[in-house]
Chain A
C-alpha cells in the first residue's frame, strides 16, 4: 500500500493533467467557435450580397442572363416608325431621346386631328423641318451631351406638277430615307422667331413658311386670325412656294353660297408638294358668282402652314392636307386687286370636305 505522500503526489499530478486538458479543450472549443462564427459571417455576407444583387453574373458567359435586367422597349432612332421621320418629328423625338423626356412612341394612326397635346419645348435649337430629311444615324447608346443636331433638310422641287413627282435636293447631309408625313401634334416649338415684315413687297419669293408660327387662331369666323408667321431665312436657291405672309384684311367679307368643288382639281403652279394626296379643292368667287383669279390661300395644320395655293381663272384652287393633320384650317391670304378678302376660316375636320365657297366681293 502506498503512503499518503505518494497518493497526494498522484492526486495533484492527475489534477494538473486534468486542468491542462480542460484548458486545451477550452482552447479548441474557442477556435472551433471562432471558425464557425467566421464561416457563418462569410456565408451571411455572401447571401446578403447575393440578395442585394451587388454581384452580377457575367453576361459574356454564354447561357447566363442577369435575371434582374428588364428588357425595355425604349425606342431608338433606328426603331422609330418610318412615318415619324417626316414633318420634323424626328428632330422632336431625337430631342426627347436625348433629354430623356420621351414617354412613348406614337404611331401615325394614333394621333387624330382633334387631339391637342402639349408640345415639349426642346432645349436644342432646331432648324426648319419642312420638308424633312432622313433620320440621322444617331447612336442611341451615346450619352446625352448638348449636341446640336443638324438634320438633313431636303427641299422638294416640283418638276412635274401633273405627275406629282418630285425630286429632293439635299441641303445638309445625305438623305437616304424619303420623307413621309408624320405626327403634326408632336412638333416642337420654335426658337426665337425671325419675323419679317409682312408689308414688304418681296415676300412673294420667300420660301414656303412651314416653320412654326406663334399664331393665335381665332375661335370663330368673327375673329379673324392674327397670323404672326416666324421666318427663318434660307437660301434663295431653295424651292419657292406660294406667296406668304398674308396681308390680313381689315374688313370681313360676307359669306357666299356653298359650291361643290369640281371633279378635276386644277393644277396650280408654285405649289408646295403635298406629302399626302389628300387634296381639297375650293373655289373663290365674287359677289356675282364669277371666279376670282389670283386669290392666295393657305392651309394650316398643327399651327404650321402646310400648303398654299392661288386660285386659277375659274376661282379654283387645291390644297393638300398632310396625312396626319391636326386642327387644320384654310384662310385666305390675299385677294387680287379690286377684290376684298374673305376673312372666314374654314376648319377641316377628320373627314375633310371642300364644301365652302370663298367670296371676294369687288371693292
Chain B
C-alpha cells in the first residue's frame, strides 16, 4: 500500500483516481479517529467526508515532514474540533444511539479485525476524549509519540504523559470488566 503521498501527488497533477485511493485506504481509520471526538459514528463519517472535501477543494500543500496519514488525521481532527465548537450539544435519540452502536461495532470489526483489539476499543469508550485519541493513535494506528504529538498538536513530553495516564485509566477500565491486557 502506498503511504498516500504519491497518491496525493497524482491527485494534484490532475488524476482524481489518486484521491479515490486515498479515500479507500484512510476512510475507516479517519472515521474511527473522529469518532473519538464525536462519539457518533455517523457524524464522524460526515466529518470524514468533509475532511476529504476540504482537501480536494483547497488542495493544501503536503510538505512531507510527516507521514501522509499523520497529516490527514491532523486535518480530520481540526474538522472535528470545528464541528464540536459549532455543535457543543448533540442530542441523540435512543433509537439512533442503538444504530450508532451497531454501525460502530461493524466498522470496528471491519477495521480492527483482531478480537483483542476490538475488546480494547470497546474498553476505551469510557475514557475521556484525549485518552481515547492517544490510545487509538498509538495502539490502533501504530503512531509514534512524535506523530501523535504532530496530530494532536502537543509536545512529545505532553503526549508521553498523556499516554501514561491513558494507560492507567484503561487498566482500571479493563480490570473492571475482568480483562488483563498484557501490552499495557
A residues contacting B by CB (< 8 A) are 1-2, 4-5, 7-8, 10-12, 14-15, 18-19
Can you list 18 A-B contacts (CB < 8 A)?
A: A1-B41, A1-B107, A4-B20, A7-B49, A8-B19, A8-B20, A8-B23, A8-B24, A10-B49, A11-B19, A11-B52, A11-B53, A11-B56, A14-B49, A15-B56, A15-B57, A18-B53, A18-B57
Give the complex CA separation of A2 and B49 in angstroms. 11
Majority secondary structure of chain B interface residues (helix, strand, loop or mixed):
helix
Against A, the Cβ 8 Å flags (1 = close, 0 = not) of B25-55 are: 0010001000000000100010011001100
Does B155 interact with chain A (Cβ within 8 Å)?
no
B residues contacting A by CB (< 8 A) are 16, 19-20, 23-24, 27, 31, 41, 45, 48-49, 52-53, 56-57, 103, 106-107
Task: Give the Cβ gap from A201 to chain B, nearest Cβ, in Å.
Answer: 123
Task: Give the Cβ gap from B60 to chain A, nearest Cβ, in Å.
Answer: 14
Give the complex CA separation of A4 and B20 in angstroms. 8
Beta-carbon contact of A4 and B23 below 8 Å = yes
Task: Give the Cβ gap from A141 to chain B, nearest Cβ, in Å.
Answer: 76
Give the complex CA separation of A1 and B102 in angstroms. 10
Beta-carbon contact of A1 and B53 below 8 Å = no
Residues of B within 8 A of A14 (CB): 49, 53, 57
Majority secondary structure of chain A interface residues (helix, strand, loop or mixed):
helix
Beta-carbon contact of B107 and A7 below 8 Å = no
Give the complex CA separation of A158 and B88 in angstroms. 124
Give the complex CA separation of A8 and B20 in angstroms. 6
Beta-carbon contact of B57 and A7 below 8 Å = no
Chain B: CB-nearest residue to A4: B24
Question: Which of A4, A12, A14 has the most B CB atoms < 10 Å from its CB?
Answer: A4
- A10-B49, A11-B49, A15-B57 are known; give 9 further A-B pairs, CB within 8 A: A7-B27, A7-B49, A8-B52, A11-B23, A12-B16, A14-B49, A14-B53, A15-B56, A18-B53
Beta-carbon contact of A1 and B103 below 8 Å = yes
Task: Give the Cβ gap from A84 to chain B, nearest Cβ, in Å.
Answer: 91
Task: Give the Cβ gap from B80 to chain A, nearest Cβ, in Å.
Answer: 16
Chain B: CB-nearest residue to A19: B57
Beta-carbon contact of B53 and A15 below 8 Å = yes
Contact A1/B45 with A12-B56, A18-B53 known, Cβ cut-off 8 Å: yes
Give the complex CA separation of A12 and B57 in angstroms. 9
Residues of B within 8 A of A1 (CB): 31, 41, 45, 103, 106-107
Task: Give the Cβ gap from B59 to chain A, nearest Cβ, in Å.
Answer: 10
Residues of A within 8 A of B107 (CB): 1
Sort A-B residue pairs by CB-CB distance and give the 5 closest, nearest first: A4-B24, A11-B52, A15-B56, A8-B20, A18-B57
Residues of B within 8 A of A19 (CB): 57
Task: Give the Cβ gap from B46 to chain A, nearest Cβ, in Å.
Answer: 10
Chain A: CB-nearest residue to B48: A7
Give the complex CA separation of A2 and B31 in angstroms. 11
